[in-house]
Structure 1
Amino acid sequence: MYKVFVNDCPIILTDNKKISTGFQKIEFKSITVLKIVEDFFQDNCKEIYLLCDNVEKCWEQFKLNFTIQEAAGGKVLNTTKDVLFIYRFNKWDLPKGKLEKGESIEQCAVREVEEECGITDLKIEKQLQTTYHIFVREEKFILKITYWFLMHSNYTGKLTPQTEEGITKVVFKDEIATEKALLNTYENIKQLF
């Protein structure tokens, strides 16, 4: 199954044709991918299930409609298990950024967290799920594929937001503050919690 967000609404590719849902279900082979995405950008859809005979084959066909942008980021915990958040565009988010040429996804994730937050001493513990979302740039649909990693840091210095990236705050949040932040974040970020 693949869940791709457009304006926080999911397009779900699945091979489970008996899935129980109140949302629209359509056979993948009968749709035009870009028409569905355009409808989502016009707020005409809330959630849709694209039913596939072979989900991997459908996923490869789905991706052909977009320019692919790969990124990586981290869900970073400190010694007290607080979570590192950034605040950008009036939403709480996790640090992430674009993969550079010749860079592994792990290197990208560490570099982006360091750059966006002014933190060091990052150690990757494990890979988390990959998230997908579609946005428009210069009249092109971009499918952003973000690889996420659970990280740990013993860093206790001052956190510094990368303001040139639109980040205005960087903070570690405890469990209660994290729950509150998740009320004002993106749906693909909620999947990581």
Structure 2
Amino acid sequence: MYKVFINEKLIIVSNEVQKSEISDTYLLKDVDFEWLIGKLNAGKLDKAILYHDKGEELLEVLYSRLPLVEAAGGLVKNDRHETLFIFRNGKWDLPKGKTEKGENMEETAIREVEEETGVKGLTISDFLMQTYHIFKRNGEYRLKLTHWYEMKTSYDGELFPQIDEDIMKVEWKSETEATVALQNSYENIKLLF
């Protein structure tokens, strides 16, 4: 099973369906994504389940239906155990971005955190998880697969929001402040915490 978000709405991609969920279930290989996303965005569906009978083929079929964009990012902690957040499009988020040709995911994650925040001296301590969300670019829906890494840094310098990426603020947040920020964040970011 995979959780895919479109804004705050959930799409579950699975090879199992409970009897109580039949009314929200559509065949992955046949679903019209424009129609489905329209219903979700209009509030006519709370969630949707996209069913495919072979679990090992779920991602392959999903990737064949929506163009895939791979990205990587970081859940960054400093020596004070604060978490690095960015503020973009009216929401608190974590730094992440699209992979460039020739990069592996870890290189992408470090580069994107540096570019979006100005933080240096990053080290990856662990792979956390992958998240999925659907977004629209140039009139076409796309699936973004983001690889998330736990990172550490001793950086104590100035933070620089990447304005050309619409990042308005970069801030270190205590555990309490992070909890508050997550109330105005994306569902896939909440999954990381």
How big is each residue's C-alpha offset from its partner over 1:119-170, in whole Å with a ceiling of 9 and x where there is no partner? 1010001111111111111111111111110000010111111111111111
* Cα offsets for 1:42-62 (capped at 9, x unmatched): 443211223332223132112
- Distance change (3 Å), C-alpha of 1:41 and 1:136: farther
Q: Structure 1 residue 6 and structure 2 residue 6: aligned?
A: yes
TM-score normalised per structure 2: 0.91
Partner SS, residue 16 of structure 1:
coil
CA–CA separation in structure 2 for the residues paired with 1:30 and 1:106: 32
The whole-number CA distance in structure 1 between the counterparts of 2:50 and 2:167 is 35
SS of the aligned residue for 1:141 comes to strand
- Cα distance in 2 between the residues matched to 1:134 and 1:113: 21
Partner amino acid for 1:109?
A
User: Which residue is equivalent to 1:155?
Assistant: 155
Residue 26 of structure 1 is matched in structure 2 by 25
Which residue number corresponds to residue 144 of structure 1? Answer: 144
Provide the alpha-carbon RMSD of the alignment. Answer: 1.9
The farther-off stretch of 42-51 and 87-96 is 42-51
Letter in 1 for 2:5: F
Note if contact 2:29-2:65 (Cα within 8 Å) is conserved in structure 1: no
Alpha-carbon distance in 1 for matches of 2:20, 2:155: 46
C-alpha distance in 2, partners of 1:114/1:96?
10
Aligned to 2:128: 128
Closer/same/farther in 2, CA of residues 29 and 86 from structure 1, 3 Å limit: closer
SS at match of 1:155: coil
TM-score (norm 1): 0.91
Distance 1:120 1:19, change over 3 A: farther
Classify 1:82/1:29 alpha carbon distance in 2 versus 1 (closer, same or farther; 3 Å).
closer
- CA distance in 2 between counterparts of 1:30 and 1:164 reads 37
Alpha-carbon displacement from aligned partner over 1:48-102 (angstroms, at most 9, x marks no partner): 2233322231321122121111111000011121110000111100000110000
Q: Does residue 79 of the first structure (1) align with residue 79 of the second (2)?
A: yes
Question: Could you tell me whether the CA contact under 8 Å between 1:25 and 1:51 is conserved in 2?
Answer: no
The alignment of Structure 1 onto Structure 2 pairs a total of residues equal to: 192
- Corresponding residue of 1:49: 49
C-alpha deviation, 1:24, in angstroms: 4.5
Residue 69 (structure 1) aligned with residue 69 (structure 2): yes
Gaps of 5+ in 2: none
1:103 maps to which residue?
103
Q: Between the two proteins, what is the percent identity of the paired residues?
A: 42
Deviation for aligned residue 1:31:
4.4
Runs of 5+ in structure 1 lacking a partner? none
Residue type at the aligned position of 1:92 = W
Q: Residue 183 of structure 2 aligns with which residue?
A: 183
Shift in Å, 1:30: 7.7
